[in-house]
Amino acid sequence: MICTGAKPSTLFEKLRSLVVHAPWLVFVGLIFMSGSTYSPGFEDTDWSTRRLALLRAIEADVSRHQIVLGSSSLSSGVSHAMATVPRHLFVPEQFRTLAYDNNPLPIGHQQTISQPTIVAIMTELLAIDPADTVLEVGTGSGYQAAVLAEVASQVHTIEIIAELAVSARNILHDLGYSNITVHEGDGYAGLPDCALFDAIMVTAAPAVLPRTLLDQLKPGGRLVAPVGPRNATQWLNVWIKQDDGSCEIRRIIPVRFVPMVGESDE
């Protein structure tokens, strides 16, 4: 099991053992909170160097587990995104020195920012074309939206917690992401007024995938989401929508994400 306190050098050695000796494995999923305020000039070569080191760790993870993930490396677009987006600006200041460890981090509201390997894998699984419009359900800190915006033409992201939506909108604006629109609302409903989408990502786990989200996916599009019971292992799945509206479903890896929250849960 990959857990919050594990070091990057040991994370996938544990995973290797699980893949060989057990029919399941667990990645820590993503949940979110407010990001920090960007100030021009904050970026420096130290952060850039740390980001590149993290990218090398992620690439090594993917290569070692290509049988599980279906790929031996990240695409150039996803690799560029992971090397570009300043993750340290999406975590509280007291955790910035840990921002480029390959681990999730607490960010308040009983939420965390996801392990970078999971961010990269979920982005890769969407197989995004540069002209695509993507829906993200669960904005949180805004980090995953920024990664998506590096590989897609337009990103719509929806967040049910008002404070998170405001914070993410501010930091993404300050970072210059003009191709991201942050919406406040219930992710279970999606964004019917903006549909149809070329790809959809869900960043928290519903017990059952809402049909409304599949209805907002274009034929040929992909939806990536963890699905399963609250506080238990879920599966990260990919839905590929067919021309007749049916979906091919691919089960990828077992994961542990926080439950997806809707208005009825509040």
The pair of structure tokens assigned to 144 is: 């995953």
d(CA 35, CA 170): 9
d(CA 100, CA 173): 22
The catalytically annotated residue of 34, 79, 114, 141 is 114
Q: Which residues touch 41 (CB under 8 Å, ≥6 apart)?
A: none
| φ, ψ dihedrals at 203, nearest 5° | -105, 15
Answer for the pair 247, 224: CB distance below 8 angstroms, yes or no: no
d(CA 79, CA 152): 14
Is there a catalytic annotation at residue 76? no
Q: Where are the beta strands (DSSP E) in the chain?
A: 27-28, 105-108, 111-113, 133-137, 154-159, 180-184, 197-202, 217-227, 234-241, 247-256
Residues paired with residue 201 on neighbouring β-strands, in sequence order: 136, 224
Please give the positions annotated as active site. Answer: 114
